[in-house]
Chain A
Amino acid sequence: MDFNDSPAEAAFRAEARAWLAAHAPAHILTPGGKISDTEEADRGRAWMRELYAGGWSGLTFPKALGGRGLSGPEAVIFAEEEGKYHLPKGPFTSIGTGMALPVIAKHGTDEQKARFIEATLKGDITWCQLFSEPSAGSDLAALRTKAVRADDGSGDWIVNGQKVWSSWAHLTDWGILVVRTDPTLPKHKGLTFFVVDMNTPGIETRPIRQISGASEFNETFLTDVRIPDANRLGAEGEGWACCMTVLMGERLGSGAHRSGVEPLIDYAASTPDGHGGTMLDDRAIRQLLAEALADEQGERFFQARLRTMVSKGENPGALAGMVKLAYAGRYQKTNGLALELRGLAGIAPESGDTATTDVQYDYIYSTVMRIAGGADEVLRNQIAERVLGMPGEVRMDKDVPFETLKG
């Protein structure tokens, strides 16, 4: 066991560090600076172009397809080093590299690969994800957006329906889309996967007013949207397999989050306790912060174990969901605790108390962490079934034509 870099890893880290030192500073976002979504997305593209030019785009993507073909641990090292700069990275770039590219690489035709892969690695094409619907979240295969063949003999598809929680759909170029093409089949079998140009007539994105006050997610309405058959990924009816490819990427990708507990220790230390000390002297607070810190360290070292598994060619499978489950719950609990320790100022801070407004935002945002990318309950089922070998859920909708299900 060695927690430190191997000589090869250390050399890779030094190479990454040197390149970043030369190229990242020109791209960093001013801390606390407010820029528009459009500008942020544009600067994201510029950073993608820089990465591509330097050979740092698509690190784990196969070389033959234009990536760098590196191992998981090297990608983690690069992410750690890149994370030291406040760079314009977000769903507008990561959905392309983390979701669209794997599904295109696995299920796409040669034409599709040629058309999308390099352009995505360069940031020329950015992507959004059109999966969830108002009635299909954790039960994604219950989706109702439908596509039928156009009756003009073109082979094109006509899509109608509504998608939701599509991050940055208003500013991205293309979407990965899953729709129902055969409602007479059971629900997982009648799905087909497409890539869709977001400028196609009939696509309307509306920002969602979120509880955080921000609006990075959208609803996307599709009304008679025409998609050429050439933009179908995989065969008709193979949409679920494509979704699985995408969602595996999502699960393995989550977990590289900011830590959460250290700032809260500082926060407690900057809050007076009324007895000449700070709230960090409070035994109950100390206990809760220490337990959160122990969990956080456990998550970090568990990730290290999973990365070691990946580097040995093993597949962590549902183990990867454990980190996400642990992290999301801890994030909510500790930020909620932090708002309590500040006293009334935690719910109505003086202007300029950005420490409190950060904690407030994180407490609100923690609800997303527990729902998106595998809700707590879904992850617990997966862990129980795939790690512990317990029985699957009773399913009422299996082997039943989708159109006969109650919706």
Chain B
Amino acid sequence: MNFDLSDEQKMLGEQARALLSDLSSFDRLRSLIDSGAEWDEPLWRALAEMGFLGAAIPDEHGGLGLGALDLGVIMEALGAANAAVPFMSSIILGAEAIRLAGSEAQKAAWLPKLASGEAVATFAYAEGPGPVFAPGGTSIDSGRISGSKTPVADAGIADIAVVLVADGNFALVELDQLGVTRTKLDSFDQLRAHYRLDFADAVAEAMPGTGKLDRLIDQAAVQAAFEAVGAAEACLAMARDYAMERQMFGRPLAGYQAIKHKLADVAVATELARSNAYYGGWAAESSPDDLPAAAAAARLSGIKCLEMAARENLQVHGGIGYTFEANCHFYYRRERMLAVHLGNRGFWADRLLNAQPGSQGKAA
């Protein structure tokens, strides 16, 4: 047994962190919000140039053909930086949906463009309040799609959407066409735009692979856990650094047990989530039968650690944490988005129990 990342994977993570610390500072995030930008496009171009976008896209389609753990270290770095890029939408969900369910022609048409960053994809799965994976109101018939998806992350900048349709399968829709209306929503995460997509007899292609939703979201859940771990560690470091510096009653705030113990608990939750993310990455690459349970556990512990870390980071900062000039709010908002996208705790709790032999409840 060797339960650690390889040296190459560690190096890949280092490269991603270095690039992000150069290009995606907190001041940069503030200026993106102030200018109402949809995304950090220069950062996306830089990620493409480094080969990060195509990391897990097969070589024959212009990618590097790496695995889930390689993708994971990139996601972790993106989570730590709170980057304003559609990596989850375009790469983890969009490109992977096409790889899993697309025809050879669809793969050939889109994967190279997604790997190079020339095109951006998104995955449209929700239909308003209620369960996040909601195929019910969208259907495809004779190459035409009708219905609505909302909210859809990054749909303003996306060229294509993979749409979850009535039979639980996927349709591929180019968004720049007459039958598609994109309406911008007020996004809680100011660095991740969300849209309503209305399809009125829009041109769409059915994707031939069926029954791929579970695999797609299990893989994405693992990647979301890596992202959460990266963000949680950034919050933890920020809280620790601030507490070390801030003097309170004649000594550093970091010396008080109320602060030490709180941050120790965040550290434990984050290490458990990291461990589950590693296992999820390994299962996705090498042991698919173990993936459903591994993904659900990683997702649940990712949500838990980032929830603690984002909240307690702001709390440790006190009043300054409530200002736009401090950096806690980026994670505080994103945490809620990450906790809800891809299905919330209850959804993944069911999936985890359902993956245990003999423990399917009626509710499942």
Contacts and interface: CB of A to CB of B under 8 A. Distances in A.
B353 A319 contact: no
Contacts of A317: none
B268 interface: yes
Contacts of A308: 1-4
Interface in B225-270: 236, 240, 243-244, 251-252, 254-255, 257, 259-261, 263-265, 267-268
Given A1-B2, A301-B3, A389-B240, A294 B359 contact: no
B297 A1 contact: no
Interface in A271-294: 277-278, 280-283, 286-287, 289-291, 293-294
B148 interface: no
Q: Which label, helix, strand, loop or mixed, suits the secondary structure of the B interface?
A: helix
Given A269-B358, A302-B272, A3 B264 contact: no
Contact of A297 (B2, B260, B297, B353): B297
Interface stretch (B43-51, B113-121, B126-134, B343-351): B343-351
B278 interface: yes
Contacts of B257: 377, 380-381, 393
A133 interface: no
A3 B358 CA distance: 25
A370 B235 CA distance: 27
A305 interface: yes
Chain B interface size band reads 35 or more
A379 to B, nearest CB: 8
B4 A305 contact: yes
B361 interface: yes
A299 B281 CA distance: 16
Contacts of A282: 361, 363
A2 B356 contact: no
Contact of A1 (B5, B243, B264, B273): B5
Interface in B274-333: 274-276, 278-279, 281-282, 286-287, 293-294, 296-298, 300-301, 304
Interface residues of A, number: 58
Given A3-B287, A286-B349, A326 B263 contact: no
A26 B303 CA distance: 48
Interface string A374-387: 00010111011101
A6 B358 contact: no
B345 A302 contact: no
A265 interface: yes
Contact of A322 (B268, B279, B287, B356): B268
Interface of A: 1-6, 9, 73, 262, 265-266, 269, 277-278, 280-283, 286-287, 289-291, 293-295, 297-302, 304-305, 307-309, 311-312, 319, 322, 325-326, 377, 379-381, 383-385, 387-394
The 8 closest A-B pairs by CB, nearest first: A298-B272, A290-B349, A384-B260, A301-B275, A304-B3, A383-B264, A294-B300, A391-B255
Interface of B: 1-6, 9, 69, 236, 240, 243-244, 251-252, 254-255, 257, 259-261, 263-265, 267-268, 271-276, 278-279, 281-282, 286-287, 293-294, 296-298, 300-301, 304, 345-346, 348-350, 352-353, 356, 358-359, 361-363
